[in-house]
Amino acid sequence: MGGASGQGLALTLKIIKEQRQKTGVAPDFFFGTTGVEGMERMDTVKILYVDDDEDLTQIYTRFLEGEHCTLKTAGDAEEGLVIAFDFKPDLIISDVAMPGMDGLEFCRRVRASDLLNDVIFMLVSGIDVEPRDVVAGLGAGADEYLVKPFSRDELVARIGALLRIKELKDKADNADKFLKDELQSRDALEARLAELKDELAGEREALSGALKQVSSLVGERQKAVERADTMEARAVQTLDSCVSMMVSALDARPGFKRGHGADVARRAVTIAEEMGLEGEKLHHLEQAARLHELGLLFVSESLAGKNPLDYTESEADFLSRHPERAGGLLEKVEGLEETARIVRHLFEHFDGSGTPHSLKKETIPFASRIVAVADAYETLAAWPGGGSERDHLDRLEEEAGTRFDPKVVHCLHKCLGRKPEIEVGGRVEMSVFDVKPGMVLASAIFTAKGAMLLPENTVLTDEYIRQIARYNRIDPLEETIFIKG
């Protein structure tokens, strides 16, 4: 070291000597403890300290020694460069004035290396530092220029700030890579979708022709006001024919259960009527139930016959979006807008974890919640070896409050409860206010807002019955429940 660095050493040693003569210890200015918290955040940081002055190296490396980081030192820039390539540090702290290669050239060499160019580089120098010296250091590629002498706290704070900046940069780089990967995945998915659409071009053209015919009929009705009544009747008839045609197309698909839409519609209408739905709302619900699988028309025969366990990620994603595709098709047909809205939101979950818009609870269309339960039940009923009716109800009960609306699941219980008792596993329907101690719940008790109060198989006690009455005053309960016979 020479010049300013020599004066910095002299001043440093003089301060230490005077303090030790007075107190017997080095001053906190150099070895303070308030920076420990900052050091604890550097558990995995690798630091290389380069200085030709051994005394200063001992002083400043004491700031960084211990369990909080991995530290190596070098006596000159040439040695530091060799160590850096092997050690691959996160941070290099280097003196400026050193014999041979100085700190500025050392910094330039590091920045020129593909292996080390993203390392944090901090230059340190003596007390006689001019602004142009700092400019030169930063121009050489340094991230920080620190003037000796400095305290441990200052050094730790400067290192912490630089590490935070590097962490943010790394996060930005990772985010950029993630976005690029996502774009590549999206491009691959779009390419696959294009292939599937090409395979189904014939069916799509036939459906497109039918929709154009409906649109043309509706357009004629709007233009011919004097024939409004007649044209409206024709449009309704054509719409029903279109729906019937689309249902026929759905039933004709290989690999899918024929009549599933009609089964779901019957089940959904039964639940909806029990829950007070009527008129046009009931009509739209029935149409949506019949057409809820319209989006699966774009599924190839090979994919339709494939075991769900063998689906690729892109195939599973394609199939999971069929309600969106069906909604997009149906909303283009005048008179089917509400039907399209019901179908579009069939995969929304009651707890907000569904698709496409993560709607939750009452923000999901009421008819969508009903059709979703009816579809799930009929799918379980049609599954080979899927178990008994009671098994199906248990499956739905498990997902009540998460995937399904608990009130709709409860209503399905009631509708099935109208069958002979033996068909529903010995369950008896009764008012929640008529229960007695010792009875066993055959289904969970839910509040009107969908919160579970007591689970299935609970043995009722006097305390539970008082609890039921108490909660009913705060949050009204469903009025009927099922008790094991």
**Which helix (H) or strand (E) element contains residue 46?**
strand 46-50
407-420: pLDDT as tens digits: 999 899 888 874 43
Sort strands 427-431 and 480-484 into parallel, antiparallel or unpaired.
antiparallel
CB atoms closer than 10 angstroms to residue 346: 26
Name all contacts of 262-267 with Cβ < 8 Å and 24+ positions apart: 262/290, 263/378, 263/382, 264/289, 264/290, 264/292, 264/371, 264/374, 264/375, 264/378, 265/289, 265/290, 265/374, 267/374, 267/377, 267/378, 267/412
What does the block give as tokens for 435?
Answer: 């229960």
Report the pLDDT value the prediction gives residue 389, as an integer from 0 to 100.
Answer: 85
Residue 176 pLDDT class (50, 70, 90 cuts): confident
**Please, are residues 60 and 54 in contact by the beta-carbon 8 Å criterion?**
no
What is the dihedral angle through the alpha carbons of 355, 357, 358, 361, rounded to the nearest 10 degrees? -110
What does the block give as tokens for 37?
Answer: 């918290």
Q: Which residues have a Cβ under 8 Å from the Cβ of 227 and sit 6 or more positions away? A: 221
440 phi-psi bin (left φ>0, alpha ψ -120 to 50, beta other):
beta
Beta bridge partners of 482: 429
For the ranges 39-48, 73-82, 171-180, 202-211, the lowest mean pLDDT is seen at: 39-48
Helix (H, G, I), strand (E, B) or coil at 446: strand
Give the C-alpha separation, 155 to 160, whole Å.
8
3-state helix, strand, coil in the chain (%, to 5): 60, 10, 30
For the ranges 58-62, 141-145, 364-368, 445-449, the lowest mean pLDDT is seen at: 445-449
Domain 4-171: give its CATH superfamily.
Answer: Response regulator (3.40.50.2300)
Report the pLDDT value the prediction gives residue 358, as an integer from 0 to 100.
Answer: 93
Q: φ and ψ at 93, to 5 degrees?
A: -110, 120
User: Whose structure tokens read 């899927």?
Assistant: 386
Question: What does each C-alpha distance from 171 to 42, 91, 122, 177, 188 come to in angstroms?
Answer: 17, 18, 22, 10, 25
Residue 226 pLDDT class (50, 70, 90 cuts): low
